[in-house]
């Protein structure tokens, strides 16, 4: 059946008149916005009914690796934006602490004794190192973060996205990158210890893997480093938002103990 | 339609030309007037230090540069090896080069302690394990002392086979330098020592070609 009049359709003569570039741009825009992230446990307090007062806090990178610094910076920025904490910037920290980010602060994470819960474990040496920082920072809380394994794993396209990728491959746009037709999943394991002062006790922790997925169409324009940068930014935001849940007033948090959050 | 095809072809060529380059002089006309050089690691990790030491040995063996031994650098520079921000914007999986980001102040501090004419700084910030291989991404920058002139850049890529399966995966295709493409096409190396030796030899060969500092008879 012929297409009557000027009604747009995907069959018949009208299809030939759809500009290919327009089709490509629409497809690209649609796929660019298909991205998502997923996480499970992000931040927990040591005691279930405890809470954080929105006082002064410094988020420090546990090692001198770029990913840990990026993570600390992302948590800092998001705590500043989303919470009532008085958050020390990374620049301020580097001005106060000699060789901050040039030297590792913590060490021995891998030496967690087998009989200890690794989520809470913080060796005496590491605690001493963070306590030494407190003399320079003078904040009520120090949150030290460091990462473990990082992964980038291209996976197979799914459904509509796959069809669109196939079209792109046919057009020859994405072929040179070696990442054709793949949505990319990046992951990082993150550890954090929140210390409260003046006591220097570990009162909260982060110990989890964080994931980010971005869709295929953007891969020709990005390196895997961009994927990790996105992952670190999103991870920092998620941790900051979760920490914010523990800064509610005491009554709300007590109630939370009796009525667990679903 | 022809325009579209031309656009797509041009785009494909642009993308395929994004591999990082090997040793190249910033000013192709630059003439090396002196010989004293030190090779330093820009990071305090084991890999960067090992590679800097291997490159230093190879330079000493194959060129007329008078290379300062690593022990002497350690003796003269307090806190060496130390972390120096390198010429890259990101280096998690491969290196996104950006030669404007090098921390010149920290390099100047090292320069002030060494009695040499050139400082060759090496960073190996990205070590990627894949299903059956390990790839080490390296970037270097050569400075003239005391002018702190940026003389040359290079980036290399070492790949060697790994016996076990690893969970970190990163396709090999991006970020491979021309030098590495040659190395891989020859057949690749079986272990880290061979791979590092091969790459150091290639790197020094390129330095000799660019500087004319090869030892006679080699």
pLDDT at A154: 67
CB pairs under 8 A between A and B: 75
- High-pLDDT (> 90) share of chain A, %: 39
The encoded tokens of residue B110 equal 């090292």
pLDDT band, very low/low/confident/very high, at A141 (cuts 50, 70, 90): very high
Contacts of A223 in chain B (CB under 8 A): 90, 93-94, 96, 174-175
Cα gap A136→A144, rounded to integer Å: 15
CA atoms within 13 A on the CB side of B21: 9
Minimum-distance CB partner of B83 among A21, A64, A151 = A64
Residue predicted with more confidence, A171 or B86: B86
**Residue-level length of chain A:** 262
pLDDT-wise least confident of A21-25, A49-53, A188-192, A219-223: A21-25
Residue in chain B nearest A68 by alpha carbon: B92
Q: Looking at residues B160-165, what average pLDDT do you find?
A: 53
Residue A90, pLDDT above cutoff 90: yes
Minimum-distance CB partner of B91 among A103, A178, A225 = A225
Find which of B92, B166, B172 to mutate to test the A interface (most A CBs within 10 Å of its CB).
B92
Contacts of A176 in chain B (CB under 8 A): 12, 15-16
Q: Provide the pairing of β-strand B118-129 with B133-144.
A: antiparallel
Q: Note the pTM of the prediction, 2 decimals.
A: 0.73
Q: Looking at residues B7-25, what average pLDDT do you find?
A: 50
Residue predicted with more confidence, B215 or A116: B215
pLDDT at A185: 84
Cα gap A235→B164, rounded to integer Å: 30
Residue predicted with more confidence, A111 or A95: A95
Residue A236, pLDDT above cutoff 80: yes
pLDDT band, very low/low/confident/very high, at A164 (cuts 50, 70, 90): low
pLDDT at B160: 76
Find which of A16, A20, A102 to mutate to test the B interface (most B CBs within 10 Å of its CB).
A102
| Chain B nearest CA to A178, separation (Å) | 6
Q: Looking at residues A70-76, what average pLDDT do you find?
A: 98
Residue A25, pLDDT above cutoff 90: no
Q: Looking at residues A169-188, what average pLDDT do you find?
A: 55
B136-145 pLDDT tens trace: 889 999 999 9
B85-131 pLDDT tens trace: 999 999 988 899 999 999 999 999 999 999 999 999 999 998 887 76
Residue predicted with more confidence, A226 or B153: B153
Nearest to B173 by CA among B23, B9, B19: B19
Residue A243, pLDDT above cutoff 90: yes
Contacts of A175 in chain B (CB under 8 A): 12
Cα gap A212→A184, rounded to integer Å: 8
Cα gap B82→B36, rounded to integer Å: 22
B168-205 pLDDT tens trace: 323 222 333 333 433 333 344 456 777 788 888 888 99
Residue A207 sits at the vertex; the CA angle it makes with A126 and A201, to the nearest 5 degrees, is 40
A12 Rama class: left (phi>0) / alpha (psi -120 to 50) / beta: left
User: A226 and chain B: CB distance < 8 Å anywhere?
Assistant: yes
Contact B15 A66 (CB under 8 A): no
pLDDT at A155: 55
Per-residue 3-state assignment (H helix, E strand, C coil) for A87-146: EECHHHHHHHCCCECCECCCCCHHHCCCCCCCCCCCCHHHHHHHHHHHHHHCCCEEEEEE
**Most confident by average pLDDT, A69-78, A206-215, B172-181, B184-193:** A69-78
Cα gap B129→A130, rounded to integer Å: 31
Cis before residue B146, ω within 30 degrees of 0? yes
């Amino acid at each position: 059946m012929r297409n009557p009049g000027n009604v747009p359709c995907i069959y018949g003569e009208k299809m030939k008149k759809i500009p290919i570039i327009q089709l490509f741009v629409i497809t690209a825009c649609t796929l660019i916005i298909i991205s998502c992230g997923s996480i499970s446990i992000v931040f927990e307090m040591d005691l279930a009914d405890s809470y954080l007062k929105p006082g002064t806090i410094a988020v420090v990178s546990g090692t001198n690796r770029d990913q840990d610094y990026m993570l600390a910076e992302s948590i800092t920025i998001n705590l500043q934006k989303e919470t009532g904490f008085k958050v020390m910037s990374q620049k301020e920290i580097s001005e106060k602490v000699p060789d901050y980010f040039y030297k590792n602060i913590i060490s021995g994470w891998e030496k967690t004794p087998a009989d200890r819960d690794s989520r809470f474990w913080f060796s005496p040496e590491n605690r001493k190192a963070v306590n030494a920082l407190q003399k320079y920072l003078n904040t009520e809380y120090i949150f030290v973060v460091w990462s473990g394994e990082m992964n980038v794993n291209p996976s197979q396209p799914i459904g509509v996205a796959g069809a669109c990728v196939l079209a792109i491959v046919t057009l020859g746009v994405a072929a040179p990158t070696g990442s054709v037709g793949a949505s990319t999943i990046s992951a990082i394991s993150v550890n954090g210890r929140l210390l409260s002062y003046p006591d220097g006790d570990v009162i909260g922790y982060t110990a989890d893997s964080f994931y980010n997925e971005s869709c295929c169409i953007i891969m020709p324009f990005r390196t895997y480093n961009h994927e990790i940068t996105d992952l670190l930014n999103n991870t920092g935001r998620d941790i900051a938002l979760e920490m914010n849940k523990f800064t509610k007033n005491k009554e709300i948090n007590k109630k939370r103990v009796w009525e667990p959050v679903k | 339609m022809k325009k579209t095809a031309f656009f797509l072809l041009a785009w494909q060529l642009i993308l395929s030309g994004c591999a990082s380059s090997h040793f190249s002089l910033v000013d192709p006309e630059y003439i090396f007037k002196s010989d004293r050089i030190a090779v330093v690691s820009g990071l305090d990790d084991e890999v960067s230090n090992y590679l800097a030491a291997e490159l230093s040995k190879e330079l000493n063996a194959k060129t007329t540069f008078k290379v300062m031994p690593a022990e002497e650098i350690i003796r003269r520079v307090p806190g060496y090896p130390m972390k120096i921000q390198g010429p890259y914007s990101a280096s998690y999986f491969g290196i996104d080069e950006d030669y404007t980001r090098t921390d010149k102040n920290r390099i100047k501090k090292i320069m002030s302690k060494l009695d040499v004419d050139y400082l060759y700084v090496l960073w190996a910030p990205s070590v990627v394990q894949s299903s059956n291989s390990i790839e080490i991404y390296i970037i270097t920058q050569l400075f003239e002392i005391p002018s702190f002139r940026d003389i040359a850049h290079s980036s290399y890529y070492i790949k060697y086979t790994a016996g076990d399966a690893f969970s970190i995966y990163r396709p090999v295709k991006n970020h491979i330098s021309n030098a590495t493409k040659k190395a891989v096409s020859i057949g690749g190396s079986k272990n880290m020592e061979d791979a590092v030796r091969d790459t150091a030899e290639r790197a020094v060969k390129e330095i000799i070609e660019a500087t004319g500092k090869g030892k006679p008879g080699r």
